Amino acid sequence: MFNVLICDDEPQFVSELHIHVKKYMDERGFPCRIDAMQSPTHALENGTAYHLAFLDIQMDDLDGISLAKALKQRNSKIALFFVTNYNKYQDDAMDLRALRYFEKPFDPVRLYAGLDKAMEYISGTYVDVFSSVNGEHRRTVIDDIEYIMRDNRRVVMVTKDGAFTTKQSFDWWLEHLPSAFFCHVHNAFLVNLHYVGSYSYTELNLTDSIVIPIASRKQAAFRKFWFDYLRRR
């Protein structure tokens, strides 16, 4: 699921933008949660790692540039849009690699074009998954996947929202998930290291208390991979 933030101190603008963003996402089959708010402080307090954010630059308790910097600490690949009446902040917005800069009132056609660009930018962050049980299709954010498990003839994708039996083979997952942070630690497990809370030589303890074994033949290689991963963080 894509987490979207709309933060602007004008309630009418927030409402209108929410309607258009939701319409775009629904029509294109992108599952999303949209947090629409007027206070940037609330955006900081909720701890959500957003994939896409629309930020007013000039707000009372915190400016949009400072908020964007904080959000990028949670997700360095966040797609940023700045909306404002103040042209003088455009250079600051570009320094943060914002995808687009909107002046109020926004043009829906230009908004949708910007969203096309944003989804292209983050297109590598989701996979299309098909259920082996009922054929259901689910578009899943890669960062939401905790691990892939081979269970006899079943292949199960475990996410923050639950477990999902997939049509895709285990080898398919090995090929399609990013090797920078997914590690094949056992014949039956492909693990997202973002969810590892602690590590011993023989097992991984995930942040939700799940324990994943590390195959004996993979333990030395994983140790090197783990410390390389930590250095990149």
Residue 97: its pLDDT value, please?
57
Quick count: other Cβ atoms within 10 Å of Cβ 97?
12
2-121 fold: Rossmann fold (3.40.50)
pLDDT in tens, 154-176: 999 999 888 999 999 999 999 88
pLDDT < 50 stretches in the chain: 93
Q: What's the rounded Cα separation, in Å, for the pair 6 and 54?
A: 5
Yes or no: say if 21 and 6 are a contact pair by the CB < 8 Å rule: yes
Fold matches, 2-121 and 125-232: no
**DSSP 8-state class, residue 107:** P
Say what the pLDDT of residue 54 is.
Answer: 93
The pLDDT, as a whole number, for residue 26 is 86
Q: What is the pLDDT of residue 86?
A: 57
DSSP 8-state assignment for residue 85: S
How far is it, in rounded angstroms, from Cα 140 to Cα 172? 15
In this prediction, residue 65 carries a pLDDT of 82
| Predicted TM-score (pTM) of this structure | 0.56
What is the number of alpha carbons within 13 Å of residue 121 lying toward its C-beta? 18
**Would you state the pLDDT for residue 85?**
64
The CATH label, of 3.30.70.60, 3.40.720.10, 2.160.10.10, 2.40.50.1020, for the domain at 125-232 is 2.40.50.1020
Which pLDDT belongs to residue 99? 63
- Whole-number Å distance between alpha carbons of 77 and 98: 11
Domain boundaries, the chain: 2-121, 125-232
Q: What is the pLDDT of residue 122?
A: 72
Q: In degrees rounded to 5, what are phi and psi of residue 214?
A: -105, 125
